[in-house]
């Protein structure tokens, strides 16, 4: 009887352990370019371990889950698993020449999931070419 009362009290007071689902999510990062964007052929996200997307990225490494989800004019949208708080947006010309490197610190906003378990986030950053 005492155990049943304790379980009931825990349930009513919100002290029951909460389990988050083991389902992962992908975040969305939008990069808005400013400047002479006509010559930009590719945009990459760079950390201290490299830049992605790129042909030589280790798909099992930390940059392996960065991909371009959409490209519309001066706006590039990426699907990303995780990134450091601060990273670099790199713009490239068609011949591979680096046009610009802009350090950014996105402000992520959770757009799904829950406060207890987290969820997918979205952020928008600006980069100058």
At 120 the pLDDT is 85
The answer to whether residues 71 and 97 touch, using CB atoms and an 8 Å cutoff, is no
pLDDT in tens, 63-92: 888 999 999 999 999 999 888 899 999 999
The structure's pTM equals: 0.80
d(CA 66, CA 29) in angstroms, rounded, equals 10
**H or E element at residue 3:** helix 2-13
- C-alpha 87/C-alpha 105 separation (Å) is 7
pLDDT reading at 12 higher than 70: no
Residues in the chain, overall count: 129
Q: 27: how many CB neighbours lie within 10 A of its CB?
A: 21
Q: Is the pLDDT of residue 30 over 80?
A: yes
Residue pair 45/87 in contact (Cβ under 8 Å)? The answer is yes
For the chain, which domains are there? 23-128 (2.60.40)
Residues 6+ apart with CB under 8 A from 24: 81
């Amino acid at each position: 009887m005492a155990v049943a009362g304790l379980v009931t009290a825990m349930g009513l007071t919100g002290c029951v352990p909460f389990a988050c689902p083991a389902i992962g999510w992908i975040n969305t990062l939008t990069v808005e370019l400013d400047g002479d964007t006509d010559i930009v052929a590719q945009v990459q996200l760079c950390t201290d371990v490299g830049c992605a997307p790129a042909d030589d990225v280790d798909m099992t490494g930390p940059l392996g889950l960065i991909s371009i989800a959409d490209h519309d004019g001066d706006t590039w949208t990426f699907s990303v698993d995780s990134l450091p708080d601060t990273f670099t947006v790199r713009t490239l010309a068609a011949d591979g020449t680096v046009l610009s490197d802009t350090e950014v610190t996105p402000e992520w906003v959770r757009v799904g999931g829950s406060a207890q378990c987290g969820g997918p986030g979205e952020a928008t950053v600006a980069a100058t070419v």
